[in-house]
Amino acid sequence: MSVQIQIFIAYFVVVFAIGWYSMRATHDEADYWIAGGKLGWFTGGATMAATHTSAGTFVGTIGVMYTAGWSFGWVLLSIPLAYWFVAAVLAPRFTRVKELTIPAFMQARYYSRRVRGLSAIIVLIATVVYMQAQIVAGGLIANIVFGLPTRWGMVGFTLILLGYTVVGGMIAVVYTDAFQLVVMCLGALFALPLAVHQLDGFGNLLTLVQSAHPTVFHWGTMPGTLLFTMGLAFFLGSIATPEKLVRLYAMRDMHTVRRGVLFAIAVITTLNLVVFLLGLAAIVLFPELPTGDLAMPMIATAVLPTTLGALMLAAITAAMMSTVDSLLIVAGSALSVDLYQNLIHPEASPRRRMWVDRIGILVVGSVPVVLLLSGVGQGELIQFIVLLFTALMASSFAVPVVGGVLWRRGTREGAACAMVGGVAATFLWKLYGPASIDSVVPGFLVSAIAWVGVSLLTSPPPREAVDPYFSE
């Protein structure tokens, strides 16, 4: 048995052990969906950082930089700003009333079960899009490590994720995220000096990369409007994606939230910098790759010693798993809590609810891989799939969630129109709009105009809906 396989088996054993422990620690739905709302700053910040650091970071970001150059790196500067906004502006009011899901917040703030159901449907659609990107990357890693066909690798990757997430819920996700974050950091920090050493130092790396890719440090490799609007998509998506917002409910109090978010910013920024430098190294070491998404796996297999290469591949896998398990929690709760319990069977017993919760995760976790095996969603760079998800979340939730705790006048009709209009504008722009402007721009603008305009034309919200978020 190769060293790579041994390391991966050990990694999966730890993940499943955490899942088994978490199942025994889960006693009710609050435990299952938000870890009882009792996370400390380290576990809260670690799960937030791990959720953010996905295949979009370890595979997609390097893939785009390999293809288009360093200019894409500037887009990601918007992420620390977004997390500062979450901690300083959004969280103090958003966390005054703890819910189990983001659609549940939408019902409480906008006094409508239908708005909650609409929110859940949007979460399900967008989450399927995002999970596809991670599962594709999982198939690539399975092919490299185990020699499996990519299709079977995607299936195996999904089954492992479903295994520990279904049994352990959010508690399993939080503690596996913390473990996976350690693996990610070790893999990246070991890989960088070894890759740079292969090129005789950092100074020589810069010289060689300019020879291999003369426009690597030029802004012209991507349209300036696209870079700016992609940065806007990352900013808005980082403050509005449900799998990140629900972490605010999972942490103990605002003091914990602030420390946790600061920790997440430090980790995310460090990992992004390391990934940028590895992207430059890949341009020199592997100038003829058929797709940029293969750059990081090639560094792991061709540059690093066997053991460290296996650790790097495990880090990539950890990045994907830490994001997909969080998406499974969000999508599963949307299906079981926000649709089934809210609209279909509100009187279900606690025992029945827990069974439906687990079945919901199984269902939403199976759909993306079924679509991929049918040929739906393949063929695009992973980072651009991630950007589509980010644009959908920003266009549907940024305005009603952030605006909902900052402006008392927002109404249920305005929120519904904002979500529907934002999603429709995003999809239409993706299909027919110019590629030089990210689809988040029309989506967000339509959402904001619809929310404000329709809210002003409809009756003000009742005081009991807004007072919990505005009363001092």
Residue 385 lies in a domain: no
Task: Please tell me the pTM assigned to this model.
Answer: 0.83
Q: What is the CATH number of the domain that holds 233?
A: 1.20.1730.10
Among candidate residues 105, 375, 415, the one with its CA nearest the CA of residue 246: 105
User: In this structure, how many other beta carbons lie within 10 angstroms of the beta carbon of residue 109?
Assistant: 25
The rounded radius of gyration (Å) of the Cα atoms in the chain is: 22
Residue 194 lies in a domain: yes
Residue 289 lies in a domain: yes
- Count of structural domains, the chain: 1
Residue 113 lies in a domain: yes
Residue 407 lies in a domain: no
- The domain of 39 spans 3-378
Listed as ranges, residues in the chain with pLDDT below 50 are: none
Residue 431 lies in a domain: no
Tens of pLDDT, residue by residue over 207-217, are 888 787 777 77
Residue 448 lies in a domain: no
Residue 388 lies in a domain: no
